[in-house]
Amino acid sequence: MKNVFSRLKILAFIMVIIFASCSRDEGFDENTQSEELQQSNLEEKYFLGKKVKVRKEEDGSYSLGGSDVRLFEEQLSDKPVAISKNPIPGADNQKLVLGGSVRKWPNNTVVYQIQGLSNNVRNELQKSFDEWTSKTSIRFKQRTNESNYVTISSNGQNCNCGVATLGMNGSNGFIRLGSGSTALVIIHEIGHTLGYLHEQNRPDRDQYIIINYQNIINGAANQFGVDQNAQLLTGTFDINSTMMYGSYTFSKNGLPTITDRQGNILPARRAALSNLDIQGTNQAYPGDGGGGPIDPDPSGPCDGVSEWNPNTNYFVGDRVTYQGNLYERDFFNWIFISSCN
């Protein structure tokens, strides 16, 4: 009886461990490398006017502190670069080639080419496209001869994971997916391609969540930093965003790295856009909320559009007129749309 009781105790303990592990399984693999690898080959650069740690990858891109965000040399600088929060439309002060250039896709359309994905991952990719196109003004077009496009391919790993470059990057942009990648991960990576950073980096995040730095693996703490220069797409922090880290992301001890202000575990990320994801995307990429981009009115493209005001706080997707031209706000500058005449 003593042996039976001991075995029952061991079995009960194992069941508790399994239950705890399952409750923390968010259905995807974060890019959480070992502590030793996480700290190797990291160098300091400036991105969006802020000092960050990056690692140069074999393909020449830079991983932002070991996360799934990939940057290029022209998006980084060795010295801080002042970023104007309200640049003048059409002016030559938009030299953000260094220090934080993030560009959005014109005409609300992500142009892509696929290389070497399995049928299963292609099916999940189509589900992800459908999620974005059914709820926002974003569209996807397979490349023919366009010069700006993103290459979607395998990362060579057997995981439900991925990495993506930030914003439109000419012909250099990419999304790389594991062989087990599902829409849960792919929808998130598409968000990076659209130019979105992680939600937990918003400057107002401390009003909504708690970062438990004592539970974060060495070398990954900068993934939880606040970015004061981030362009906010919505007025409210979104704990349910597809761009939000999970409660156990980069945990070194099985304890939560992020909780809400009451210490509760965050909702698991879903293979779906939140209401605020949808609202923010349709602000940044203006359209009709699901039917495609809105072209300027040929009878008067500037009718009803206010003149640029240096004292106004503009958001991505806002339109203004300036010196007889129509402009739309990108992440850090203005895009020329058309002449008002």
**Which residues have a Cβ under 8 Å from the Cβ of 145 and sit 6 or more positions away?**
none
Quote the CA–CA distance of 42 and 94 in Å, as a whole number: 29
Higher pLDDT, 125 or 303: 125
Query: Is 131 a residue of the active site?
Result: no
Looking at the domain 35-193, which fold is it?
Collagenase (Catalytic Domain) (3.40.390)
Tell me the average pLDDT of the chain.
81
pLDDT band for position 3 (cuts 50, 70, 90): low
* pLDDT tens digit sequence for 211-255: 999 999 887 887 888 877 777 777 789 999 999 999 998 899 999
Show me where the domains of the chain are located.
35-193
Element (H, E) at 20: helix 2-24
Q: Highest mean pLDDT range out of 101-105, 200-204, 260-264?
A: 260-264
pLDDT at 233: 77
Q: Is the pLDDT score of 43 beyond 90?
A: no
pLDDT band for position 299 (cuts 50, 70, 90): low
Rounded to two decimals, the pTM is 0.83
* pLDDT tens digit sequence for 68-99: 999 998 888 888 877 777 888 876 544 433 33
pLDDT at 101: 73
Q: Is the pLDDT score of 28 beyond 70?
A: no
- Phi, psi at 10, each rounded to 5°: -65, -45
Higher pLDDT, 138 or 269: 138
pLDDT band for position 300 (cuts 50, 70, 90): confident
Q: Which residues pair with 139 in a beta bridge?
A: 109
- Phi, psi at 250, each rounded to 5°: 60, 30
- Phi, psi at 53, each rounded to 5°: -105, 130
Annotated catalytic residue: which of 26, 131, 189, 328?
189
Q: Is 209 helix (H, G, I), strand (E, B) or coil?
A: strand
Q: Is the pLDDT score of 53 beyond 50?
A: yes
Q: Is the pLDDT score of 199 beyond 70?
A: yes
Classify residue 293 by its DSSP letter.
B
Quote the CA–CA distance of 79 and 56 in Å, as a whole number: 17
**Which residues have a Cβ under 8 Å from the Cβ of 293 and sit 6 or more positions away?**
107, 108, 109, 137, 139, 285, 286, 287
